[in-house]
Chain A
């Protein structure tokens, strides 16, 4: 089967660090992508991990462990504008399979 699992909700305070996990069960796995979607908006690409390890892009980092079928998105120095839904996605063959999304609420 092809599925990705994420926690449904995460809450954190401004300035904190939060980690959003994604576990997957896929065949023909090529890597893990992360997207951000604000309410009423379209998803925007954040990062992609093709290889194991950590990828850093400003305040956001993404990690992948193929042996554990697991990845995470790390958001540092949280800001109110980071309140959004975050989706992991795996390119599978010629498709994308998206996780169900994690709603992040950043509190003042």
Chain B
């Protein structure tokens, strides 16, 4: 089965603009988790989508938003970009029916200039 895919690999945007990142979970899996990883730091939970609904969000401002489509792919939008939004954004799909085993996509490196 195909793994988690993300696009684009790299994204460079000027401050104040909007960025859109995309993720497709493992085929047949309905959940998508989004994480932010600033350079040299740990992973911070952003958003969790399941069955098309936002189930939970981390401690991030409302300009971080997203959605999940009927095919379970997901989109993360970051509005009014700030320099500190520069980070690796990772999408994960839980393995099987247990969410503690997460499979990550390769990530999107967002650079805000």
Report which A residues bind B (CB closer than 8 A).
30-31, 33, 35, 41-45, 48, 50, 87, 89, 91, 93-101
Contacts and interface: CB of A to CB of B under 8 A. Distances in A.
A41 to B, nearest CB: 8
Contacts of B106: 41-42
B103 A93 contact: no
B107 A98 contact: no
A44 to B, nearest CB: 7
Interface of B: 33, 35, 41-45, 48, 55-56, 58, 90, 95, 98-107
A93 B106 CA distance: 25
Contacts of A43: 43, 90, 102, 104
A100 to B, nearest CB: 5
Contacts of A91: 99-100
B102 A96 contact: yes
Contact of A95 (B48, B103, B107): B48
B56 A99 contact: no
B56 A42 contact: no
Nearest to A101: B42
B30 to A, nearest CB: 14
Nearest to B56: A94
B55 A33 contact: no
A87 B43 contact: yes
A71 B58 CA distance: 25
A37 to B, nearest CB: 9
B42 A98 contact: yes
A31 B100 contact: yes
Contact of B45 (A42, A44, A96): A96
A43 B95 CA distance: 14
Closest 3 pairs (CB-CB, A-B) = A42-B104, A98-B43, A100-B42
Nearest to B58: A95
16 contacts: A30-B100, A33-B101, A41-B106, A42-B90, A42-B106, A43-B90, A43-B104, A44-B104, A45-B103, A48-B98, A93-B56, A94-B56, A95-B48, A95-B56, A97-B45, A98-B42
